[in-house]
Amino acid sequence: MRLFLLTSLTMIAFAANSVLNRLALVDGATGPAAFALIRLAAGALVLGALVLRNASASRQPAITVRPGAVAMLALYVLGFSFAYVSLPAGAGALILFAMVQLTMFAGAVAAREPVPLLRWLGAAVAFGGLAWLLLPGKGAGAMDLTGVALMAAAGVGWGVYSLLGRRVTDPLRATGSNFILALPLGLAVFLLLPDGIDLRGAGLAAVSGGITSGLGYALWYRILPRLGASIAAVAQLSVPVISVAGGMAFLGEPLTARLVFASLLVLGGIALSLWPGSRRG
């Protein structure tokens, strides 16, 4: 029961990033570059403190430099923040989640890993759901193409970041290092595209970076070995659903038929690709 509660708390934290980001930007007083910068700074502060504590106990270097991972983390955080200028929280989370899974699937194919038929089928169904969500149209179900492209880029960034991190022996130290080293990239974007921020937006960004990202990631890495890869992957299927619920509750976002159908296809396709038979090469 304790493991279930901790896992649920972590998934809520992951989904909360979408709601917090959208909530901060919705009135226009806070801009995406400022939000992303504060999110990176707060995450670097919290994760850096945890890394320094562990490094002093183990006498290991506190910082590890992995330029590719740093660049992909920055792409995720910045793309995520700029996308939520126009995207609803739930739809944005679904696009992000689908692109992460499709990117990791493409990485497995590129690495010539054995890909069973069920996994191909699951990827096709998930891609079909994403395509349905993004069909051109008017009204509440239509998606802003700029926001979609930015969130897709964020998903690719997080997917590649996850692929690069598969062989990391100390994920907490690696993630803390990446947040610290991505901070100058966030600052550079803010200087190039300066925007405003109010006290409310700064507070939401700090919560997103320090708590739902920083502490959320730390908790995830702590419980991940006890869950196993397949259960962890299935648990993350709940993130877009929680994001949709959060968007409805805190932002008044509508639940459209297109979003429901696309969600069923995307999450069903990912679940199919994780079916036990699909994991055998």
Calculate the CA 104 to chain-centre distance.
13
pLDDT at 230 over 60: no
Q: Looking at per-residue confidence, does 251 or 233 come out higher?
A: 251
Tens of pLDDT, residue by residue over 69-101, are 999 999 999 999 999 999 999 899 999 988 888
- Number of domains the chain contains: 1
pLDDT value at residue 56:
65
- Please classify residue 112 by burial: count the beta carbons closer than 10 Å to its beta carbon, then call 0-12 exposed, 13-18 middle and 19+ buried: exposed
Kindly give the interhelix angle for 257-273 and 238-251, rounded to the nearest 10 degrees: 160
Mean pLDDT, the chain, integer? 87
DSSP readout, 127-189?
HHHHHHHT----STT---HHHHHHHHHHHHHHHHHHHHTTT-S-HHHHHHHHHHHHHHHHHHH
pLDDT at 231 over 80: no
Residue 111 · residue 279 · CB < 8 Å: no
Whether residue 136 lies inside any domain: the answer is no
pLDDT value at residue 15:
93
Residue carrying the six token digits 């089928």: 121
Tens of pLDDT, residue by residue over 2-36, are 888 888 899 899 999 999 999 999 999 999 999 99
Tally of CB atoms within 10 A around 257: 9
Q: What angle do CA 147, 261, 162 make, to 5 degrees?
A: 55
Whether residue 120 lies inside any domain: the answer is no
- Distances 140 to 88, 135, 143 between C-alpha atoms, Å: 10, 12, 8
Tens of pLDDT, residue by residue over 172-211, are 888 899 999 999 999 999 999 999 999 999 999 999 999 9
Q: Which residue segment(s) compose the domain that 61 sits in?
A: 2-100+143-251
| pTM confidence score | 0.88
Q: Looking at per-residue confidence, does 188 or 109 come out higher?
A: 188
Q: Please give the share of the chain, as a percent, with pLDDT higher than 90.
A: 45
pLDDT value at residue 140:
47
pLDDT at 146 over 80: yes
Whether residue 110 lies inside any domain: the answer is no
Please report which confidence band the pLDDT of residue 222 belongs to, taking 50, 70 and 90 as the band edges.
confident
Please report which confidence band the pLDDT of residue 281 belongs to, taking 50, 70 and 90 as the band edges.
very low
Whether residue 87 lies inside any domain: the answer is yes
Whether residue 280 lies inside any domain: the answer is no
pLDDT value at residue 278:
54
pLDDT value at residue 131:
86
pLDDT value at residue 250:
94
Whether residue 31 lies inside any domain: the answer is yes
Whether residue 242 lies inside any domain: the answer is yes
